[in-house]
C-alpha cells in the first residue's frame, strides 16, 4: 500500500508511526511511503536520519490564551492544508495515518476533505487537542487507553494499543550498555525526561550525582538534546564515576531498553507503551505542563495495577530521587513483581492491530 504518515513535535508522536512503518515493511505490505512533518519538530531529524522520504510544512500550535499569534496559526493552518492537498494529490496514498502533534491536523484534515481513507492514533488516556479536532473528520481512531474512547465519535474508535509496543516487545537484552561504557551485567537505572528531556529531572539527577557515583548499580542519564550543554557545564565541576553515563539522546532506544532494570522518567504515553511491552519497573514523574494533566492519568493507569510508582514533579529532589530509586534498585523481587504487573498491561501485537484497521479501510 501507499501510505502517508504525519505526526510529530515530540518523539511520543513519531515513534508510533515509525513502528507501523517498520511492521508494514516486515510484512511486505508497503509500496511507498512519505512522512509529512515540520522543520521545527523532532521528526525533521529523526525521519531524515532514517532516510525516509520527508516533506516539511509550516504550522504552529494554538496558544491556550487568546492572542494574535492564534490568527497566524489559523493562517498557517489554511496555507498548510492547501499545501497538504497538493502533496496528497501528487502522492496518491491509499491511506493517511496521523499520530498526533499539530502538524497532523492539516494533513489529516486535507486527506479527509479529499475522501482519502484516514486513521489517527491517540496514544494518551486524554485526547490531545489535534486528535480531538480530527476526530470529527477522520474515518478511524485507534486508541491505547479504553477510557479515552468517550472523547471521540464512538463508531470510529478501535482499541489497538500503541504500535510502538510491538516494535519493542520481542527485543532481547543485547549488551547495548557497552556503547555507553557501562557493564552489561550490572543492574542499570535509566533516567530520562521524555524525548525532549525535563529540567526538573535533570536538576534532581545533578543533585543526586555524588551519591549515585557510589552505588553498586549503574545509571544511564539522558538529558535531552536542548539541555545537554548546560548539563555538561554543570558536570565540569563534578565527578562522574564509571558507573554513571551521561548522554544527550539515545537513538534506537528500543535496543537499549531490554538491558534496563528500572526507569525513572516522564509518563509520556509512548514511553509507557514501551515500559509495559517489556515489563520494566518504573518510577514515573508526570509532566505537569501537558494538556489536561494527561501524563498523571497515563501514570495512574500503571500505578493502580502496581506496575509503577509515581512521584510528582514537586516532590522530586535529589534526595527523593535517591530514596525511590534505591528502594527498587536494591530489591530484585520487588522489581520482578512490578515488571510482571507492567507486562500484563502491554499490547505486544499493537502494530498488527493498527495495520488491520488500515487494511479494513482500503478494502
Ligand X SMILES: CC(=O)N[C@H]1[C@@H](OP(=O)(O)OP(=O)(O)OC[C@H]2O[C@@H](n3ccc(=O)[nH]c3=O)[C@H](O)[C@@H]2O)O[C@H](CO)[C@@H](O)[C@@H]1O
Binding-site residue numbers for UDP-N-acetyl-alpha-D-glucosamine are: 10-12, 124, 195, 250, 295
Told to check if 105 binds ligand X by CB under 6 A, we report no
Which one of 11, 37, 98, 117 is in contact with ligand X (CB under 6 A)?
Answer: 11
Told to check if 163 binds ligand X by CB under 6 A, we report no
Told to check if 104 binds ligand X by CB under 6 A, we report no
Question: Smaller CB distance to ligand X: residue 91 or 354?
Answer: 354
Task: In angstroms, give the least distance from the CB of 160 to ligand X.
Answer: 14
Are the C-beta atoms of 212 and 322 separated by less than 8 Å?
yes
Instruction: Give the whole-angstrom CA distance, residue 296 versus residue 9.
Output: 20
Told to check if 134 binds ligand X by CB under 6 A, we report no
Q: Which residues are within 8 A (CB) of 160 and not within 5 positions of it... i.e. 6 or more apart?
A: 121, 142, 143, 144, 347, 350, 353, 354, 357
Short-list 48, 114, 270, 24, CA closest to 106: 114
Q: How many residues bind ligand X (CB under 6 A)?
A: 27
- Positions in 15-34 near ligand X (CB under 6 A): 15
- Checking phi first, is residue 308 left (phi over 0); if not, alpha (psi -120 to 50) or beta? beta
Are the C-beta atoms of 328 and 262 separated by less than 8 Å?
yes
Interface region with ligand X, contact rule CB under 6 A, candidates 81-89, 193-201, 209-217, 300-308: 193-201
286: cell is 508526570
- Positions in 288-317 near ligand X (CB under 6 A): 290, 294-295
Told to check if 180 binds ligand X by CB under 6 A, we report no
Question: Smaller CB distance to ligand X: residue 70 or 291?
Answer: 291
Encoded one letter per residue, x for contact with ligand X by CB under 6 A and - for no contact, window 196-225 reads x-------------------------x---
State how beta strands 309-310 and 244-247 pair. Answer: unpaired
Is 4 exposed, middle or buried (CB count within 10 Å of its CB: 0-12, 13-18, 19+)? buried
Short-list 152, 167, 195, CA closest to 7: 195
Q: At what angle do helices 332-344 and 269-278 cross, to 10 degrees?
A: 110
Number of neighbours of residue 252 by Cβ within 10 angstroms: 9
Which one of 12, 41, 93, 187 is in contact with ligand X (CB under 6 A)?
Answer: 12
Told to check if 13 binds ligand X by CB under 6 A, we report yes
Helix, strand, or coil (residue 276): helix
Are the C-beta atoms of 56 and 38 separated by less than 8 Å?
yes
Which one of 268, 279, 339, 346 is in contact with ligand X (CB under 6 A)?
Answer: 268
Instruction: Give the whole-angstrom CA distance, residue 268 versus residue 249.
Output: 16
Interface region with ligand X, contact rule CB under 6 A, candidates 110-118, 262-270, 307-315, 319-327: 262-270
Instruction: Give the whole-angstrom CA distance, residue 273 versus residue 295.
Output: 13
Which one of 38, 188, 287, 320 is in contact with ligand X (CB under 6 A)?
Answer: 287
Is 41 exposed, middle or buried (CB count within 10 Å of its CB: 0-12, 13-18, 19+)? buried
Which one of 104, 124, 131, 243 is in contact with ligand X (CB under 6 A)?
Answer: 124
Which one of 22, 43, 139, 274 is in contact with ligand X (CB under 6 A)?
Answer: 274
Task: In angstroms, give the least distance from the CB of 99 to ligand X.
Answer: 8
Give the residue ranges of the annotated binding site.
10-12, 124, 195, 250, 295
Are the C-beta atoms of 185 and 211 separated by less than 8 Å?
no
The residue length of the chain stands at 363
Interface region with ligand X, contact rule CB under 6 A, candidates 176-184, 232-240, 246-254, 352-360: 246-254
Which one of 98, 194, 339, 346 is in contact with ligand X (CB under 6 A)?
Answer: 194
Question: Smaller CB distance to ligand X: residue 15 or 152?
Answer: 15
Q: Where on the chain is the footprint of ligand X (CB under 6 A)?
A: 10-13, 15, 100, 123-124, 164, 192, 194-196, 222, 249-250, 253, 266, 268-271, 274, 287, 290, 294-295
Amino acid at each position: 500500500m501507499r501510505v502517508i504518515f504525519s505526526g510529530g513535535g515530540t518523539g511520543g508522536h513519531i515513534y508510533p508511526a515509525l513502528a507501523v512503518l517498520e511492521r508494514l515493511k516486515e510484512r511486505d505490505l508497503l509500496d511507498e511511503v512519505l512522512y509529512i512533518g515540520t522543520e521545527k519538530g523532532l521528526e525533521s531529524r529523526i525521519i531524515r536520519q532514517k532516510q525516509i522520504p520527508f516533506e516539511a510544512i509550516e504550522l504552529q500550535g494554538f496558544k491556550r490564551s487568546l492572542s494574535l499569534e492564534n490568527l497566524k496559526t489559523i493562517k498557517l493552518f489554511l496555507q498548510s492544508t492547501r499545501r497538504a492537498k497538493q502533496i496528497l494529490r501528487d502522492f496518491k496514498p491509499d491511506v493517511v495515518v496521523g499520530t498526533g502533534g499539530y502538524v497532523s491536523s492539516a494533513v489529516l484534515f486535507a486527506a479527509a476533505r479529499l475522501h482519502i481513507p484516514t486513521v489517527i492514533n491517540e496514544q494518551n488516556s486524554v485526547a490531545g487537542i489535534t486528535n480531538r479536532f480530527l476526530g470529527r473528520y477522520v474515518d478511524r481512531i485507534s486508541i491505547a487507553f479504553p477510557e479515552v474512547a468517550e472523547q471521540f465519535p464512538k463508531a470510529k474508535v478501535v482499541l489497538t494499543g500503541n504500535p510502538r509496543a510491538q516494535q519493542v516487545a520481542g527485543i532481547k537484552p543485547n549488551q547495548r550498555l557497552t556503547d555507553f561504557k557501562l557493564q552489561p551485567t550490572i543492574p542499570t537505572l535509566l533516567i530520562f525526561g521524555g524525548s525532549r528531556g525535563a529540567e526538573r529531572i535533570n536538576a534532581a539527577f545533578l543533585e543526586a550525582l555524588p551519591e549515585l557515583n557510589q552505588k553498586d548499580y549503574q545509571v544511564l542519564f539522558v538529558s535531552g538534546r536542548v539541555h545537554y550543554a548546560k548539563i555538561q557545564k554543570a558536570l565540569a565541576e563534578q565527578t562522574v564515576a564509571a558507573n554513571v553515563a551521561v548522554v544527550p539522546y539515545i537513538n534506537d532506544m528500543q535496543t537499549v531498553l531490554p538491558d534496563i532494570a528500572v526507569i525513572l522518567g516522564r509518563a509520556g504515553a509512548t514511553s509507557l507503551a514501551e515500559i509495559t511491552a517489556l515489563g520494566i519497573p518504573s518510577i514515573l514523574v508526570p509532566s505537569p505542563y501537558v494538556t489536561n494533566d494527561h501524563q498523571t492519568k497515563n501514570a495512574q493507569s500503571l500505578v493502580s495495577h502496581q506496575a509503577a510508582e509515581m512521584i510528582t514533579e514537586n516532590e522530586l529532589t535529589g534526595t527523593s530521587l535517591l530514596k525511590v530509586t534505591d528502594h527498587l534498585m536494591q530489591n530484585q523481587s520487588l522489581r520482578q513483581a512490578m515488571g510482571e504487573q507492567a507486562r500484563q498491561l502491554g499490547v505486544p501485537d499493537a502494530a498488527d492491530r493498527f495495520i488491520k484497521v488500515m487494511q479494513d479501510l482500503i478494502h
